[in-house]
């Protein structure tokens, strides 16, 4: 039995989970998400618990068992609490601003970078004096939020010598010593 897959998903108040034709739909105060489930896995809802079971014990089925339980759990947490990521721009002259769903980055290149965001993601930018600019992203879809954060981070990855670049706010970077003076 999969350690993750055998755990039931607790459904909080205000969240409804429905299963129809291998499609799991989760509705809550923050939004609505749906996920197609592989036929080797079956999902059942009883009361405030959601159980995921598999039909056989093959390796592929065991992998799907834990995967779909985790995806359903992420959807339940997303529509009830939501997910939030904070990106920090470290570097002299790095700036960020947003106009609705379009973010403008100034990252030391010869041109600004514009990124249009999907409507499911709420964005906020903060630029305070003597502090690094922040990009705050919120969404109910953990997968989409992570993908957008990875795209933003790819514009200027943090480098290991000075730590300049776009990083997550709570991320700890491994720093290198750099050149040492020869005697």
Give me the CATH number covering residue 35.
Answer: 3.90.930.12
Q: How many domains does the chain have?
A: 2
Residue 180 has pLDDT above 90, yes or no: no
Q: Which of 62, 80, 98 is the last residue of a domain?
A: 80
Q: Determine contact, residues 170/133, Cβ cutoff 8 Å.
A: no
Q: Which of 80, 102, 131 is the last residue of a domain?
A: 80
Among the listed residues 117, 91, 90, the one whose alpha carbon sits nearest the alpha carbon of residue 103: 117
Q: Mean pLDDT of all residues in the chain?
A: 92
Of 174, 155, 161, nearest to 95 by C-alpha is 155
Tokens describing residue 105: 């980055």
Does 179 fall in a domain?
no
Give residue 33's pLDDT: 94
Domain hosting residue 138, numbered range: 83-168
Instruction: Give a yes or no: residue 144 inside a domain.
Output: yes
Of the given ranges (60-64, 124-128, 151-155, 177-181), which has the lowest mean pLDDT? Answer: 177-181
Residue 135 lies in a domain: yes
pLDDT of 182 higher than 70: no
In a domain, 176, yes or no: no
pLDDT at 133 (0 to 100) = 94
pTM: 0.88
Dihedral sign, CA of 38, 44, 49, 51? Answer: negative
Backbone angles phi, psi at 78, to 5 degrees: -65, -45
pLDDT score of 2: 63
Look-up of token digits 């305070």: 128
The answer to whether residue 145 sits within a structural domain is yes
Q: Where are any strands of DSSP class E within the chain?
A: 9-10, 16-20, 23-28, 31-36, 41-46, 49-54, 83-90, 95-99, 102-106, 113-116, 122-126, 134-139, 165-168
Q: How far is CA 141 from CA 9, 90, 93, in A?
A: 17, 27, 32
pLDDT band at 1 (very low <50, low <70, confident <90, very high): low
The predicted pLDDT at position 181 comes to 65
Q: Are residues 105 and 39 in the same domain?
A: no
Query: Can you give the pLDDT at residue 5?
Result: 85
Same domain, 76 and 88: no
Residues near 166 by beta carbon (within 8 Å), at least 6 away in sequence: 87, 88, 89, 90, 107, 152, 153, 155, 156, 157, 158
């Amino acid at each position: 039995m999969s350690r993750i897959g055998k755990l039931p998903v607790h459904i909080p108040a205000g969240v409804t989970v429905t299963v129809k034709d291998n499609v799991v739909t989760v509705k809550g105060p923050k939004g609505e998400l749906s996920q197609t489930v592989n036929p080797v896995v079956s999902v059942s809802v009883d009361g405030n618990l959601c159980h995921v079971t598999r039909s056989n014990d093959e390796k592929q089925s065991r992998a799907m068992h834990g995967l779909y339980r985790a995806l359903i759990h992420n959807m339940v947490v997303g529509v009830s609490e939501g997910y939030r990521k904070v990106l920090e721009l470290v570097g002299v002259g790095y700036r960020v601003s947003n106009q609705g769903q379009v973010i403008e980055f100034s990252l030391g290149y010869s041109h600004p970078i514009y990124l249009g965001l999907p409507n499911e993601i709420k964005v906020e930018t903060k630029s305070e004096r003597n502090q690094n600019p922040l990009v705050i992203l919120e969404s109910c879809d953990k997968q989409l939020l992570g993908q957008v954060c990875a795209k933003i981070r790819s514009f200027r990855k943090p480098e290991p010598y000075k730590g300049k670049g776009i990083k997550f706010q709570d991320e700890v970077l491994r720093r290198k010593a750099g050149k040492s003076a020869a005697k």
